[in-house]
Each structure stands twice: as structure tokens, then as C-alpha cells.
Amino acid sequence: MRLALQGTRILDMAWIGPGPFCANMLGDLGAEIIKIHEPDPDRRGGLIKFAFPADSPDFPGLRNIKTMGLDLKSNDGRNIFYELARTADVIMEGYRPGVMKRLGVDYDTIKVINPATVYASLSGYGQEGPYRDVVGHDINYISIGGLLGMTGSIDGPPVPPGTLIADFAAGGMGAAIGILAALMAREKTGKGQFVDVSLTDGIVEMLYLWIMPYLLFGIENKRGDTIFTGHFPWYNVYETKDSKYVSVAAFEPHFYRNLCELLGREDFIEHQFAEGEKRDEIMQFFKQTFLTKTRDAWLEILRSKDTCVAPVYTLDEVVVDPQLIARGMIRELPHPTLGSVKQVGSMLKLSDSPFQVRYWATRFGQYTDEILHELGYDDTRIKNLHRAEVVG
């Protein structure tokens, strides 16, 4: 069985946020991910040590990742990187714009060594523009991109979402798509190219549903007052008798009809898009009615017909849900020292190239010597490089 990206080598220097998410996706698809870090991780104040929590012998490490310690500030370290670049299909980095150029491993340098390399740079605001050198994190990018301003109730402040949208969706998935597209283009041209990934750009594109009406017609949608953020009672979240919640999304008329019938209010059917007092009446009825039964009781009732309803899970419920287990999103995976470990699976389901774990990285620099041996370095030379702290 051949994995989809088998034979694709990726040098990964994007340790924070979108980089690990992208690398995880591509590694699960079969790419060889060589995650390059400083020989001494403490040089960066321990920012990358999140990958290997201290004093956690039961932590399985990173799946489908190889770790290599390499000092890119040294001549020997850069030369090793150049040797690796000749073998690489993709190079991915997540530093501030300009850092790679100062280190001598930027795209303009690498494309001379290997014109077929796809070089992806992940940053908050992109490689150009007035914000290119401004620091930030996920919440800052969703702020400028407009997503945070659209999240929350109509009468409340903006509310940060429950996960990292800019890092994982706009950045991590965006980078994966850009890299795969560039690899496809290389199949036709034989040449690599530069992939400029801006997390903020990704957020803006994800918000097109609300930005486009403003650009075209001057219609400005407000937080908590759109179809998908609580304006109508049939697309909302309701508390139940047991202090849990259900989500309702009866968008299509036939789903809304079924919902009204199951709630015993057929008179509401013709008022799906009502505004003003009628909308408020329906909303209040929904709120009061859902409080009369437990969450699971409502699920049983409302799933007897198509109504688009789901439980609002806590994490302890997510990891035991039978649908997610059946789909392999929560699964037991074999591990070389722990026997087996529970993991989040891969969202990507390819019929002929199914997800599998090929190896684990449980410490920094675990694969350094192996990779150097592949490049032709003998044991004596490797020991000297370790002694000089060029590798780790």
C-alpha cells in the first residue's frame, strides 16, 4: 500500500501554531516530515518545548515526525541544511519575514540549490504590507480579519472561539492546500515556487460570506444578528432541563416544518423568517420549551424526523461518541514504548491510501544521527558536530 505523499520530503521549521498542524496533516498523508530545531531548545526560551512536555513519560510524542537539531547560525549547520535542501520537495518555515534571509536559508538562496523545491512561509500578516513585521497570535489575526468581531451575542462583547481558527484553519490547512497545489504545478513545470501563507488573509477569505455583501451592496452584518449567529430561532443554541445544550439548524423549510410539528406549534410554520414581535415570540417559545426536557430526551424526540439537531458536547463526551469512534477520529494507535495510545485521527479519508502511523518522535534530535548518516556522514564526523553543538 502506497501512501498519498509517500516519497515526499518536507523540511519543517514552523514550530508554533499553524506549522505543526500543517505538518501533522501532511505527515499523516505519508510525507516524511523532518522537523528542524535548535540543538538546544532552550535557546528560544523554551517556546518549542510544548511538543515534548517535561517529566511526562506517558506522553507519546509526535506521530509521523522526525526531529533533528541543527544550528542554522553556524556555517556547518547551514551547509548541512543545504545538503538536506537538495533532497527536499518542500521547505516550510514560520519565522518573521526576513529571518530566513538573515540565516541564509531563504527561498532565493534555496531555489538556486534546488529549483524544484516548494518553499512555504507561514506568518501572521504575510511577507509584504505595513503589518509584515508586527508580532501576533491567533486572537490578533481573527481580530483584524473580522472573525472575532462577528463572534458572540448581539448584546455582548466579542467572544474568542473554542479553538485556534487562524492557526489551524486559515494557516495550517491553508498552508497544506498551498503546498499541495504547488507540488501539483511542479508535476507540469518541473519547478518549485514560493508559497506565502498569511493567517490573516485566510481569515478574511473565510469571512467572505459577510464581507462580500458589504463590498457589493454596503450591507454590514453585525455580531449575533445574522442567520448563522442567532438572529432566527431555528438556527440557534438552547439550554435544556439538565443544564446542557442542543444546537438547532432547521434552515430548509421542510426541516423547519418538521421542527414546528414536533414542538406542537404548526402555527409557526408560515413565520420562519418573521421579524419583530413574531420572531421574538417564537424565540421565547423555543427557549422556554427546550427547558422542559433533558438534552437527550430532546434529541430522541427531534431526531424522529429530520430537524437538524445535535447535542452540544463537552470534551469528555466527544471522545466517546460512537460516530467519531466509527470514523476513526478517536482511536487507539500502536506505540513503540507505551503499547497503545489514544489519539485524534485524521480527517482525510483516502480509499487507497489510508491513514497510518509509521513512526514517533519522543524527544528533540531523535533522528539527527540517522538523517546525517543518510547524507553520508560517518560516526566520527557526527560526534564532532555534536561536540561543536552544530547538531543536537
DSSP labels, 319-342: TT-HHHHHTTSEEEEEETTTEEEE
378 is a catalytic site residue: no
> Where is 176: in which H helix or E strand?
helix 174-189
Report whether 47 contacts 40 (CB < 8 A).
no
Give the three cell numbers for residue 206.
473565510
Please state, in angstroms and rounded to a whole number, the distance separating the CA atoms of residues 181 and 179: 5
Strand, coil or helix: 312: coil
Report whether 200 contacts 122 (CB < 8 A).
no
196 is a catalytic site residue: no
Question: Residues near 270 by Cβ (< 8 Å), separated by ≥ 6?
Answer: none
Q: Which of 76, 137, 196, 321 is catalytic?
A: 137
Please state, in angstroms and rounded to a whole number, the distance separating the CA atoms of residues 290 and 272: 18
Please state, in angstroms and rounded to a whole number, the distance separating the CA atoms of residues 252 and 291: 24
Only one residue has cell 519547478, namely 191
Say which amino acid occupies 63: R
Strand, coil or helix: 106: coil
Give the closest residue to 234 by CA, choosing from 204, 207, 274.
274
Q: Which of 12, 106, 138, 167 is catalytic?
A: 167
Report whether 9 contacts 87 (CB < 8 A).
yes
Question: Residues near 255 by Cβ (< 8 Å), separated by ≥ 6?
Answer: 249, 306, 307, 308
What are 283-289's contacts with CB under 8 Å, separation 24+?
283/233, 283/236, 285/233, 286/233, 286/236, 286/238, 286/248, 287/238, 287/239, 289/263
Q: Looking at the DSSP assignment, which residues form a beta bridge with residue 390?
A: none
Give the three cell numbers for residue 26.
501532511
With 0-12 / 13-18 / 19 or more C-beta atoms within 10 angstroms meaning exposed / middle / buried, residue 200 is buried
Active-site residues, by number, are 137, 167
